[in-house]
A and B are shown apart, each in its own frame.
Chain A
Amino acid sequence: MFYRENGQLKTSYQADQQIFPIAQDRWAIIGLVLFAIVAVPLLANEYTFSAILIPFLILSLAALGVNILVGYCGQISMGSGAFMAVGAYAAYNTLVRIDGMPLLLALLSGGFFATVVGMFFGIPSLRVKGLYLAVATLAAQFLSDWAFLRVPWFTNNSTSGSVMVSELQMFSWRIDTAVEKYLFCLGFLIVFAVLAKNLVRSAIGREWMAVRDMDVAAAVIGIRITYAKLSAFAVSSFIIGVAGALWGFVHLGAWEPAAFGLDRSFQLLFIVIIGGMGSIMGSFFGAAFIVILPIVLSQTLPALGNLVGFEVSTAAISHAEFMIFGALIVWFLIVEPHGLAKLWSTGKQKLRLWPFPH
């Protein structure tokens, strides 16, 4: 009843083509962003920021990138972890090797180098599809694992093999506290989310989706497959690279190649699949699911155990956590095979008609 677009008449194309044409959506999103910027820093504590919110934001950003490639262009990639690693190490190298390099530029250069590497590993996609492509992009993962472990140049000849970024400073803003780090990541996420949303609504986004849905038909109407696929790899790896740089610089501070291993690639792929392929919103849902749910489970399970009146050992809790988490993944995918974003949009569709069923 309260979610209706009745009476919201559009008198110009511009009004009709905005990102959120329904006023309620628009206000909800603006409200959410304001909440994230203003209210969350007041409410959350140090632990929440560094253990939950910052990983959530950065993984959302990375998932956004993966979603462009996997969800919008239909090219399954297992190299996301590698692209994150390239982003992190490239950003690190530009920061360390060039004197007076601004932080922002270093992070973006991470994205740039990830783009180059991503496009290189996207070349097999011109010939192989589906699971075969997934295996082909796996090569990126192995190569990055090897290169960042074995080639000392990449780690600036660090003896321990791990690299470290000590202080973050953008212009005159020193990013020290968890709140500042959170806001820094949030800024990146908002900018990239708006860019990505607009990109997938534009001509190139439609090209990607056409290639995803039927590449032969796309070729027949004149879409350049090579261009569409490689541009998807480029845009996606850029975002993943920036996310990787943030992961290293802001979240970890000091890291080794293991931080960007195959697990990370899988995690990102699962975020996209659970959240919803081909949906910007889905990246956020998926990241929230993967990052926040295990923490919520580990917090609530002991309390729940106490409630029923039995003492649960920490080991048992961590086992139960894994089992419940796995069961929930399966359950959500059975309820909605197209991901949480689809659940969300079906809910909205129903709400529009509510309280009438059709």
Chain B
Amino acid sequence: MSNQDIVLDVNGIEVIYNHVILVLKGVSLTVPAGRVVALLGGNGAGKTTTLRAVSSLLKGERGAVTKGSIELRGERIENMTPSDLVQRGVVQVMEGRHCFAHLTIEENLLAGAYTRRDRGEISANLEKVYNYFPRLKARRTSQAAYTSGGEQQMCAIGRALMTNPSVVLLDEPSMGLAPQIVEEVFEIVRDLNAKENVTFLLAEQNTNMALRYADYGYIMESGRIVMDGAADELRNNEDVKEFYLGMYGEERKSYRNFKSYKRRKRWLT
């Protein structure tokens, strides 16, 4: 992986909320261009905070990056505003969707095109989003608040795509969605990645699903990255299998042996 290929380089960042609560304790990760990188871990591991640090959304949560650096194609971005980042092609899809409730689906998407000036480009983008998400086209005139959770998630992703991004930060796209819809959303992510060459940084709890669609994965625990590797490697790693995928060795282990067999999280010493 040569240096030019790295779109996003997060280097040992520390994030403190409210001047007192230390949340990230030195997180480093790199996102190569045109890949899907997954950020995995349980609740409170710091996935969302990492994404927020990248997209400069910490201020609203009274947080700040106090150490380390974040570089986008060699340019320091940790002190930029979110709108600067959108101009540079980095856009976040927030956890919990946050569609504009009183706008219709189409108005939501057009609102996403705020940074685009060229009308032709906007309508081309809109067409593109409708191509990827045919469901949205069917619901284009209904108010976002009255669409289903899956459609709202699609709307949020579609809205992000309207900015013509090069990097999309995707936070928990599977939250509260039926497994089939999750599959559908991830398929579209893979499609976008392959056809539009959009780079994805994906924060997920659903380790199994994320590792199936990602190229590379980082596993976080209590504000640190504890493990990283190519998605296949991680999927076959015994520790990951047990702690995150819920598989115990070759065959199902009987619960009688469960305790004596239980691995320690060795990295937590």
Give chain A's interface residues, CB within 8 Å of chain B. Answer: 346, 349-350, 353, 358
Smallest distance from the beta carbon of A224 to chain B beta carbons, Å? 28
The 10 closest A-B pairs by CB, nearest first: A358-B22, A349-B20, A346-B19, A350-B20, A346-B20, A346-B18, A350-B19, A358-B16, A358-B20, A353-B20
The 6 sampled A-B contact pairs (Cβ below 8 Å) are A346-B19, A349-B20, A350-B20, A353-B20, A358-B16, A358-B20
Smallest distance from the beta carbon of A342 to chain B beta carbons, Å? 9
Residues of B within 8 A of A350 (CB): 19-20
Smallest distance from the beta carbon of A277 to chain B beta carbons, Å? 16
Residues of A within 8 A of B18 (CB): 346
User: What is the bound-complex CA distance between A346 and B20, given in angstroms?
Assistant: 7
Q: Which partner residue on chain B sits nearest A352 by CB separation?
A: B20
The residues in B between 1 and 49 inclusive whose CB is less than 8 angstroms from any CB of A are 16, 18-20, 22
Residues of A within 8 A of B20 (CB): 346, 349-350, 353, 358
Q: Which partner residue on chain B sits nearest A350 by CB separation?
A: B20
Residues of A within 8 A of B19 (CB): 346, 350
Smallest distance from the beta carbon of A262 to chain B beta carbons, Å? 33
Smallest distance from the beta carbon of B166 to chain A beta carbons, Å? 34
Give chain B's interface residues, CB within 8 Å of chain A. Answer: 16, 18-20, 22
Q: Which of B16, B20, B22 has the most CB of A within 10 A?
A: B20
Smallest distance from the beta carbon of B154 to chain A beta carbons, Å? 26
Smallest distance from the beta carbon of A276 to chain B beta carbons, Å? 14
Q: Which partner residue on chain B sits nearest A353 by CB separation?
A: B20
Smallest distance from the beta carbon of B145 to chain A beta carbons, Å? 15
User: What is the bound-complex CA distance between A5 and B259, given in angstroms?
Assistant: 38
User: What is the bound-complex CA distance between A346 and B19, given in angstroms?
Assistant: 8
Q: A346-B18, A358-B16, A358-B20 are in contact. List 7 more A-B contacts (CB 8 A).
A: A346-B19, A346-B20, A349-B20, A350-B19, A350-B20, A353-B20, A358-B22
Residues of A within 8 A of B16 (CB): 358
User: What is the bound-complex CA distance between A92 and B18, given in angstroms?
Assistant: 48
User: What is the bound-complex CA distance between A353 and B19, given in angstroms?
Assistant: 12
User: What is the bound-complex CA distance between A164 and B16, given in angstroms?
Assistant: 57
Smallest distance from the beta carbon of B84 to chain A beta carbons, Å? 21
Smallest distance from the beta carbon of A188 to chain B beta carbons, Å? 35
Smallest distance from the beta carbon of B238 to chain A beta carbons, Å? 34
Smallest distance from the beta carbon of A336 to chain B beta carbons, Å? 10
Q: Which partner residue on chain A sits nearest B22 by CB separation?
A: A358
Smallest distance from the beta carbon of B214 to chain A beta carbons, Å? 32
Smallest distance from the beta carbon of A350 to chain B beta carbons, Å? 6
Q: Which partner residue on chain B sits nearest A358 by CB separation?
A: B22
User: What is the bound-complex CA distance between A346 and B22, given in angstroms?
Assistant: 14
Q: Which partner residue on chain A sits nearest B19 by CB separation?
A: A346
User: What is the bound-complex CA distance between A85 and B143, given in angstroms?
Assistant: 47
Residues of B within 8 A of A353 (CB): 20
User: What is the bound-complex CA distance between A82 and B19, given in angstroms?
Assistant: 40
Smallest distance from the beta carbon of A351 to chain B beta carbons, Å? 11
Residues of B within 8 A of A349 (CB): 20
Smallest distance from the beta carbon of A172 to chain B beta carbons, Å? 52
User: What is the bound-complex CA distance between A350 and B19, given in angstroms?
Assistant: 8
User: What is the bound-complex CA distance between A78 and B94, given in angstroms?
Assistant: 36
Smallest distance from the beta carbon of B21 to chain A beta carbons, Å? 9
User: What is the bound-complex CA distance between A349 and B20, given in angstroms?
Assistant: 7
User: What is the bound-complex CA distance between A353 and B18, given in angstroms?
Assistant: 15
User: What is the bound-complex CA distance between A358 and B16, given in angstroms?
Assistant: 9
User: What is the bound-complex CA distance between A44 and B195, given in angstroms?
Assistant: 78
User: What is the bound-complex CA distance between A78 and B245, given in angstroms?
Assistant: 55
Residues of A within 8 A of B22 (CB): 358
Smallest distance from the beta carbon of B186 to chain A beta carbons, Å? 31
User: What is the bound-complex CA distance between A63 and B20, given in angstroms?
Assistant: 29
Q: Which partner residue on chain A sits nearest B25 by CB separation?
A: A358
User: What is the bound-complex CA distance between A346 and B16, given in angstroms?
Assistant: 13
User: What is the bound-complex CA distance between A60 and B16, given in angstroms?
Assistant: 34
User: What is the bound-complex CA distance between A353 and B16, given in angstroms?
Assistant: 15
Q: Which partner residue on chain B sits nearest A348 by CB separation?
A: B20
Residues of B within 8 A of A346 (CB): 18-20
Smallest distance from the beta carbon of B64 to chain A beta carbons, Å? 13
Smallest distance from the beta carbon of B17 to chain A beta carbons, Å? 11
Q: Which partner residue on chain A sits nearest B16 by CB separation?
A: A358
User: What is the bound-complex CA distance between A350 and B16, given in angstroms?
Assistant: 13
Smallest distance from the beta carbon of A333 to chain B beta carbons, Å? 14
Smallest distance from the beta carbon of A95 to chain B beta carbons, Å? 49
Smallest distance from the beta carbon of A339 to chain B beta carbons, Å? 14
User: What is the bound-complex CA distance between A358 and B19, given in angstroms?
Assistant: 9
Smallest distance from the beta carbon of B199 to chain A beta carbons, Å? 33
User: What is the bound-complex CA distance between A148 and B16, given in angstroms?
Assistant: 54
Residues of B within 8 A of A358 (CB): 16, 20, 22
Smallest distance from the beta carbon of B87 to chain A beta carbons, Å? 26
Smallest distance from the beta carbon of B52 to chain A beta carbons, Å? 18
User: What is the bound-complex CA distance between A349 and B18, given in angstroms?
Assistant: 10
Smallest distance from the beta carbon of A314 to chain B beta carbons, Å? 41
User: What is the bound-complex CA distance between A78 and B18, given in angstroms?
Assistant: 31
User: What is the bound-complex CA distance between A350 and B18, given in angstroms?
Assistant: 11
User: What is the bound-complex CA distance between A20 and B20, given in angstroms?
Assistant: 21
Smallest distance from the beta carbon of A142 to chain B beta carbons, Å? 33
Smallest distance from the beta carbon of A334 to chain B beta carbons, Å? 12
Smallest distance from the beta carbon of A183 to chain B beta carbons, Å? 39
Smallest distance from the beta carbon of A331 to chain B beta carbons, Å? 17
